[in-house]
């Protein structure tokens, strides 16, 4: 497992480095769209002369000629054009993509440091001590969910690629509709392929298109359904308690019911969240490995 993590992270780091270099080249050109470029002085003077010549008016009788357009003062300059909405969206998407790509590389480097510490200092000692130390460190990696952090790296890279392609479409639709249409079709095909291969393993058991994105969606779905079932159980249990409380005829009966209901509620909660209760949910919400074993 440790060796597989090392090889995967090496691949992710190479991809993140190349992709970040490409993004940097695009961002160097795109951030200029957010700046208001200073006007060319020669062009400003020529525009002023043209406006003044076109605004000449003559008095009646024609004794003098006057320009109705004001002259350009020594400290004045034409107003700068405001930043367009497309430029704002473009830079937002591309810089967000660059940050996610660099974040994935940073997380990958940190995970490699953790893995290297796992292998350090194990060679010395007896075989029993080495096995105990190795198992102790392996339990630490599993208990602190290092596997999930490794799975998050390709997800960050996929999201980063999606943001870059979205920004590319924003740029192309402001330049040329024909090129933007062709690129949009290609991006749509890629998006449909990614979504289809991500969701198929959730629908069809035994599908080989298993990826970290699929496992993440499966885990999120498990937790959401478990939370909904738990909330539903507690909601109906509360309604049942209130209905019995209303039906009680005397204060003594209400007090007696309050104590009994508290004991019953605690007993049900204990059953639900002990091993027996969890096994009831695990029959319906198992891990991915358990799902595969159940399909055999």
Cis peptide before 243 (omega within 30 of 0): no
| pLDDT tens per residue across span 193-215 | 999 999 998 888 788 888 888 88
In this predicted structure, what is the pLDDT of residue 96? 95
Of 104, 194, 119, nearest to 152 by C-alpha is 104
| pLDDT tens per residue across span 235-252 | 766 666 666 665 555 565
- The answer to whether the CB of 8 falls within 8 A of the CB of 150 is yes
> Measured between alpha carbons, how far is 47 from 67 in angstroms, rounded to an integer?
14
DSSP reduced 3-state for 57: strand
Of 293, 145, 295, nearest to 219 by C-alpha is 145
> Measured between alpha carbons, how far is 233 from 241 in angstroms, rounded to an integer?
12
> Measured between alpha carbons, how far is 150 from 218 in angstroms, rounded to an integer?
17
Tokens of 194: 């990614």
| pLDDT tens per residue across span 267-280 | 555 555 544 444 44
Place of tokens 């909405």: 85
DSSP reduced 3-state for 192: helix
In this predicted structure, what is the pLDDT of residue 280? 46
> Can you tell me the mean pLDDT for 130-136?
82
């Amino acid at each position: 497992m440790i060796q597989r993590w090392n090889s995967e992270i090496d691949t992710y780091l190479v991809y993140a480095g190349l992709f970040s270099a490409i993004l940097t080249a695009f961002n160097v050109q795109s951030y200029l769209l957010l700046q208001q470029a200073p006007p060319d002085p020669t062009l400003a003077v020529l525009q002023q002369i043209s406006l003044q010549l076109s605004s000449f008016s003559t008095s009646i009788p024609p004794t003098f000629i006057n320009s109705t357009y004001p002259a350009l003062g020594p400290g004045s300059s034409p107003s700068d054009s405001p930043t367009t909405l497309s430029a704002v969206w473009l830079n937002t998407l591309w810089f967000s993509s660059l940050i996610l790509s660099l974040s994935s590389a940073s997380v990958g480097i940190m995970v490699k440091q953790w893995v290297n510490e796992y292998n350090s200092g194990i060679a010395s000692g007896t075989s029993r001590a080495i096995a105990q130390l190795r198992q102790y460190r392996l339990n630490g990696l599993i208990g602190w969910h290092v596997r999930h952090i490794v799975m998050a790296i390709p997800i960050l890279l996929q999201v980063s690629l999606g943001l870059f392609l979205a920004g590319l479409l924003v740029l192309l639709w402001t330049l040329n509709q024909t090129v933007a249409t062709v690129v949009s079709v290609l991006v749509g095909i890629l998006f449909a392929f990614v979504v289809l291969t991500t969701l198929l393993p959730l629908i069809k058991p035994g599908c080989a298109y298993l990826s970290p994105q699929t496992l993440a969606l499966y885990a999120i779905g498990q937790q959401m359904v478990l939370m909904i079932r738990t909330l539903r159980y507690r909601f109906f249990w509360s309604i049942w308690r209130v209905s019995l409380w209303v039906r009680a005829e005397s204060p003594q009966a209400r007090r007696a019911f309050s104590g009994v209901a508290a004991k019953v509620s605690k007993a049900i909660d204990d059953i639900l969240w002990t091993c027996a209760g969890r096994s009831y949910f695990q029959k319906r919400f198992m891990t991915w490995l358990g799902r595969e074993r159940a399909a055999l």
